[in-house]
A and B are shown apart, each in its own frame.
Chain A
Amino acid sequence: MTSNIDLVINFTYVIAAGLFIYGLKLLGHPSSARKGNLVSAVAMLIAIVVTLLDNNIINFQWIAIAMLAGSVVGFFAARLIAMTDMPEMVSLLNGVGGLASVFVAWATIQSGAGLTAFILVVTFLALLIGGVTFSGSIVAWAKLSERITGRAVTFSGQAVVNGIIVLAIIATGYAFVAQPDLALTSTEVLYIALGLSLLFGIMLVLPIGGADMPVVISLLNSYSGLAACAAGFALQNNILIVAGSLVGASGIILTNIMCKAMNRSLSNVLFSGFMAVHKTDMVIEGEVKPLSADDAFYVLEAAQSVVVIPGYGMAVAQAQHVMKELQLQLEENGCEVAYAIHPVAGRMPGHMNVLLAEADVSYEHLFEMDEINKRIENFDVAMVIGANDVVNPAAREMKGSPIYGMPVINADLAKNVFVLKRGMASGFAGIDNPLFFKPNTRMIFGDAKETLGTIVRQFND
């Protein structure tokens, strides 16, 4: 009779896999995305429920406690998190997913049942990827929430240290699979492997600066899926493999999109922290022309079309709501308002879109970089709010610049450019921005939220 129940379970997994895929398909458009998420959640629910029918599961005490506690933590985390803290939330979820795979791998080894060489290899992989995902995500979270510095952390000999860790991991892996020949027990090897993978995760993310965070989060997202996938191999469980690889593929695609948007290769993003800072002797000519918010109002009042280019600074200043107010004022005034979103604006893929959605800006007002660049000359005003590197014309015109070749939003080609900025500090890439010195650029210094608030009040009067 056991085989019958196994059949039911596995057949239900097939249905769940189908629903996961259908859910992801629905996620392809904003109008159906919410339904897609629901379909995916239903798939998860039936997969969990049918698993509980397994005849080998006898003791439900710990399961009930663990699921209840996990649900409570998950529920409150999802409810209480501020939308501006989304990158941190996603990082933490990545980390928790990785750690779950670590414990599945650990429990598999501990059970000691049916450990063939194949199972040992995949279990080791699950432990390794899970460990790297966990510690890497924690470092990424600490960087994003500014508990540690957001800048790249490097020290001399970092590459050598990393090399030694990789060699040690390979050696441990060998000992793990071929352990009967060695003096250490499998649990001892397991602890060492776990420690090494955690250390490696930290070393991997530490040298990566704040502006490259979208790449790192995508990559860790992918790892959390791959860890689940490896755990699926260890447990010979189809649904883990399917769902894990869907997540893995999604993370890899996002990583690739982010890298392309910065015109850098993945290895350049991961290891450029080790390289010497690029110095250019090129001099930017021109002068910075400040403008008061009151004067900006007169220009905006006369403008027929405005394009808004937000960056991480908008998230920091929480300026999205007041920007929406300004948008309404401008539209009432007969002005067209568009938002131009660079793929790596903010700290994670789609960060700006979520913030603007929170402020109730319709997604139909949001345009991708390529669409807006085609017609940027026609805009009377380009308002750059807390963005820097993604509008840096040096990427187009200064061959020696470290960001030369990166696709940017050509804000400088608009008739007038307003840059809302706290001060003259350079962006995360640490590069001067010639945009600030262009003849058609005016700098509006100060907190973006206050500046926009002043302009909105002028419109109201």
Chain B
Amino acid sequence: MEGIYLLFILLLSIFVGFELIQKVPATLHTPLMSGANAISGITVVGALALAGDETLGEYTMYLGAFAVFLATINVVGGYLVTDRMLAMFKKKK
């Protein structure tokens, strides 16, 4: 049942995603992509549990920690670069 319940979440969030992204104007497509990149860094949440759990063995912790490292690059780099871009989008004065 757990799998089915997760599929439900998947289905609904894909629909929400489609509805939301369709409304993003072409002007903002690049910041949208880099912002989406940052969001995909959510993998860090999954990686944390693997990197800090000693019962899973040392090797798992190293692999998990490397995943934390990579996903953090995504999160920090993605949000900062998106912010840098969006700060430039101005109306005429």
| Residues of A in contact with B (beta carbons under 8 Å apart) | 17, 20-21, 23-25, 27-31, 33-34, 36-38, 40-41, 44, 47-48, 51-52, 54, 56-60, 62-63, 65-67, 69-71, 73-75, 77-79, 81, 83, 86, 89-90, 93-94, 96-97, 99-101, 103-104, 106-108, 110-111, 113, 118, 217-218, 221, 224-225, 227-229, 231-251, 253-254, 257, 341, 343, 348-351, 353-354, 357-358, 360, 362-366, 368
Contacts and interface: CB of A to CB of B under 8 A. Distances in A.
29 contacts: A21-B16, A23-B35, A24-B24, A28-B24, A30-B27, A47-B42, A56-B52, A59-B52, A62-B61, A70-B76, A77-B73, A77-B81, A78-B77, A83-B85, A86-B85, A90-B34, A93-B77, A106-B63, A107-B50, A110-B57, A110-B60, A111-B60, A233-B3, A240-B45, A244-B43, A246-B16, A250-B17, A253-B22, A364-B91
Nearest to B79: A41
A41 to B, nearest CB: 4
Nearest to A75: B76
Given A74-B72, A350-B26, 18 more contacts: A21-B16, A37-B35, A37-B83, A47-B45, A51-B45, A51-B48, A59-B52, A73-B77, A86-B81, A103-B47, A224-B40, A228-B42, A246-B16, A247-B37, A248-B17, A354-B30, A363-B89, A364-B91
A211 B53 CA distance: 46
Nearest to B68: A66
B29 to A, nearest CB: 3
A108 B29 CA distance: 34
B33 A348 contact: yes
Given A56-B49, A77-B77, A104-B43, A350 B27 contact: yes
A30 to B, nearest CB: 5
Contacts of A40: 35, 38-39, 79
B85 A62 contact: no
Contact of A27 (B35, B80, B92): B35
Nearest to B23: A28
Nearest to B59: A110
A137 to B, nearest CB: 10
Contacts of B73: 70, 73-74, 77, 93, 96
Nearest to A81: B81
Chain B residues touching A, majority SS: helix
Contacts of B2: 236
Contact of B37 (A52, A97, A343): A97
Contacts of A17: 13
A240 B21 contact: no
Contacts of A30: 25, 27-28, 86, 89, 91
A253 B20 CA distance: 10
Contacts of B82: 37
B30 A351 contact: yes
Most chain B beta-carbon neighbours within 10 Å: one of A17, A23, A101, A357: A357
Contacts of B75: 44, 48, 70, 74
A38 B36 contact: no
A241 B65 CA distance: 21
B92 A365 contact: yes
A221 B36 contact: yes
Contacts of A250: 17, 21, 32-33, 36
B40 to A, nearest CB: 4
Contact of B48 (A29, A48, A113): A48
Contacts of A25: 20, 23
A312 B28 CA distance: 17
Nearest to B48: A51
Contacts of A62: 51-52, 61-62, 64-65, 68
Given A75-B80, A90-B30, A366-B27, A100 B52 contact: no
A94 B3 CA distance: 27
A350 B70 contact: no
Q: Which 7 residue pairs are nearest across A and B when measured between Cβ atoms?
A: A70-B72, A249-B17, A74-B76, A350-B29, A57-B52, A74-B77, A78-B80
A244 B54 contact: no
B79 to A, nearest CB: 4
Contacts of B50: 104, 107-108, 111
Contact of B9 (A44, A54, A65, A238): A238
